[in-house]
Amino acid sequence: MDFSNLLLTFVYGIMPLITLAIMVIGVIFVFGKWFLPGTLTPTGGPIRIGRLPNGDYYINIEWFSWYRWFTGKDKPKPRKSWWHAVGYAIENLILDVLLFRRVFRRDKVTWALSWPMHISAGLIIFSGVHHAAHSYLLGISSEAPSVDGLVLPIPQFFRLPLTIPGLPFPPIVIHILGIIFLVEVVLLLIRRLTVKKVAAISKFDVVFDLVMLICGGVVGVTMGFIGPLPILVAIHGIIAHIYFICIPWTFYTHIIGGMPFSAIASGVRKARLGV
């Protein structure tokens, strides 16, 4: 086995497992922070226990109290019903999460940069490239099957996702989407660095993540032009791994948190106030 095969075996055979392990730990950390009542050990402080008006105790997990919030007599009476809250939450999930309504309302330029970027990224990740879904192992190793002589440590595990078809886009469409994605991310990075108010609040992880996206995009688009050279495939894979590792540890947690939970909570708030 030559060096390039060894590299690809590492990138597509071993790194996915490392990536998944780090991602899973990260997601546990994030969800632990969000959902666990109180703290895990006595060193961290007491477990939070709530008390109902009738004297009963309950463990304070905010999510379970939502229903109580709307029906309980110990909470402000909302202006609109519980069903309105459900409707608003669904509306927010569709319009704010999928179409970026809130960004569109406030800043059309940022919307023109960010919405196509996210949509093209989504389409690329879930599309079929090189006989396999790009989303193979969370988008980690779509190129793997196209490389001759690749040794996979657990072949059954890696072959399984190949049976799942991606979105049926021809390669040219994916290629165009890749170019759109790349241009948009570059413009977003320029916005980050040059618009004073945005630069002032941008942390290192935000800029780092955008740079990673640009690197991944450049390699991906290059492969679209000259084909999947092993070295490009390996670089694309390494960048993709780093990207996925970053999700629970950097500002990318907005993918997990901001999208569903805040949109739902906002719908509840809207029904409460009746606005």
Partner 1 sequence: MSEEKVFVPVDNLRKLHLIYSDTCSTCGICADYCPTYLATKDPELIPGKKHEFALKLINAQKSFLRMIFGPKPVDAKELREKVNHLYTCTLCGRCSEVCSYNVDLHSLWANLRVSIFKAGFAPEPLKALRDTIKNAKDPYGAGLDMRTFWVRRARLRSVPVKDKANVVFFVGCVTALRAQTRMVAASIAQILSFLGEDWTLLGDKEWCCGSPIMMAGDEETAKEFAEHNVEVIEEKHADTVVVGCASCYRMLRWEYPTLLRRRPRFEVLHIVELLDRYLEEGKLKPVKSDVPVAYHDPCELSRLGGVIKEPRRIIKALTNNFVELPENGVDTRCCGGGGLLQAFNNELRVKIAMERIRQAEKVGAKIVTSACPACKLALLDGANSLGSSVEVLDIVELLARQLQLQPK
CA distance 189 to 218: 14
Radius of gyration from C-alpha coordinates of the chain: 23
> Counting contacts by CB under 8 A, is residue 202 touching partner 1?
yes
Least distance from C-beta 199 to partner 1, angstroms? Answer: 9
Binding mask 105-124 for partner 1 (x = CB under 8 A): xxx--x---x----------
Residues 6+ apart with CB under 8 A from 260: 93, 97
- Collect all residues with Cβ–Cβ distance below 8 Å to 200 and sequence separation of at least 6: none
Piece of the chain touching partner 1 by CB under 8 A; list 104-112, 164-172, 211-219, 235-243: 104-112
**How far is residue 137 from each of residues 16, 169, 205, 228, measured CA to CA in Å?**
7, 19, 24, 19
Strands 132-133 and 49-51 come out as: unpaired
Interface with partner 1 includes 212 (CB under 8 A)? no
Among 3, 41, 156, 170, binds partner 1 (CB under 8 A): 41
Residue 188, Cβ neighbours under 10 Å: how many? 19
Of positions 2, 3, 77, 225, contacts partner 1 by CB under 8 A? 77
Query: Contact letters (x/-) for partner 1, 44-63, by CB under 8 A?
Result: xx--x----x-------xxx
Smallest gap, in angstroms, from Cβ of residue 27 to partner 1? 10
Cα 215 from Cα 213, distance rounded (Å) = 5
User: Residue 98 half-sphere exposure, CB side, CA atoms within 13 Å?
Assistant: 8
Residues at the interface with partner 1 (CB under 8 A)? 28-30, 32-36, 38-41, 43-45, 48, 53, 61-63, 73-77, 79, 92, 96, 100, 102-103, 105-107, 110, 114, 195-198, 200-203, 206, 251, 253-254, 256-259, 261-263, 265-266, 269, 272-275
